[in-house]
């Protein structure tokens, strides 16, 4: 799918069978001035889009394990190529799981400590501002964000954790760890900072009606990164993400 060009930031919101947060994501991004479009997982191209979001849900029913099947969808080749090209890519909840399965982010998500599904509001602290998600935030800021997951317990080898901490690849930590995540990690970025995954749902914290506006700070930062990059390099060119 190719987005029609306009001055507004164009965001591809990838939809798999089993996704259930795509419309929340579109609404939140649209409310912040972006032009968000749903992109079905069988698409081979993301040409013309300025940013990509892989939303929450249960892609392919979470069979085998969350994200294990989704990573083989045709659109993921385009997502990987877009990420390599420097396009901002955000994975929320199940989207975070998909990005780790696709090896766009290090580590993995396992079952929550205690074996319970969690649906609650958590407090997260901005740790690093080196990512597209937190570049517009202030380190130390605390944000109230909802979580909604069964397998959000982040884990990785000690060497990877050391690298994440040394390179500023931990955008957010839980103030009170709800799921057993290593180092209370709530979000992880790649080395370049343009790919970020987080278990909390910023799109569900963009309205007084849902109890918090704290998610806006993160999504605004994400959109600004896309805007700044578009001004410098343009959107994803057709040749970069045509798929095969």
Residues across the chain: 244
**Residue 223: how many other CB atoms lie within 10 Å:** 23
Q: Which of 85, 86, 78 is nearest to 102 (CA)?
A: 78
Catalytic (active site) residue 201: yes
Catalytic (active site) residue 120: no
Catalytic (active site) residue 203: yes
Classify residue 91 as exposed, middle or buried by CB count within 10 Å of its CB (0-12, 13-18, 19+): buried
Integer Cα distance of 124 and 4 in angstroms: 36
93 Cβ neighbours under 8 A, 6+ residues apart: 21, 55, 56, 57, 147, 148, 149, 152, 198, 199, 200, 201
The residue annotated as part of the active site, out of 21, 80, 93, 156, is 93
The residue annotated as part of the active site, out of 41, 60, 149, 201, is 201
The residue annotated as part of the active site, out of 43, 81, 101, 203, is 203
Q: Which residues are part of the catalytic machinery? A: 93, 201, 203
């Amino acid at each position: 799918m190719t987005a029609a060009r306009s001055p507004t930031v164009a965001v591809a919101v990838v939809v798999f069978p089993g996704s259930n947060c795509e419309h929340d994501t579109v609404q939140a991004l649209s409310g912040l001035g972006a032009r968000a479009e749903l992109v079905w997982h069988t698409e081979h191209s993301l040409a013309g889009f300025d940013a990509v979001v892989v939303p929450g849900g249960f892609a392919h029913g979470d069979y085998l394990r969350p994200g294990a099947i989704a990573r083989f969808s045709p659109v993921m080749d385009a997502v990987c190529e877009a990420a390599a090209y420097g396009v901002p890519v955000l994975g929320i909840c199940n989207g975070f799981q998909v990005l780790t399965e696709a090896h766009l982010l290090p580590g993995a998500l396992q079952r929550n400590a205690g074996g319970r599904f969690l649906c609650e509001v958590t407090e997260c602290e901005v740790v690093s501002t080196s990512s597209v998600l937190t570049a517009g935030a202030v380190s130390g800021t605390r944000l109230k964000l909802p979580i909604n997951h069964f397998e959000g317990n982040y884990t990785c080898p000690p060497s990877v954790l050391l690298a994440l901490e040394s390179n500023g690849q931990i955008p957010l930590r839980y103030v009170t760890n709800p799921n057993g995540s290593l180092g209370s990690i709530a979000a992880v970025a790649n080395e370049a900072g343009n790919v970020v995954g987080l278990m909390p749902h910023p799109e569900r914290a963009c309205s007084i009606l849902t109890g918090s506006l704290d998610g806006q700070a993160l999504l605004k930062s994400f959109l600004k990164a896309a805007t700044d990059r578009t001004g410098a390099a343009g959107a994803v060119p057709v040749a970069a993400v045509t798929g095969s």
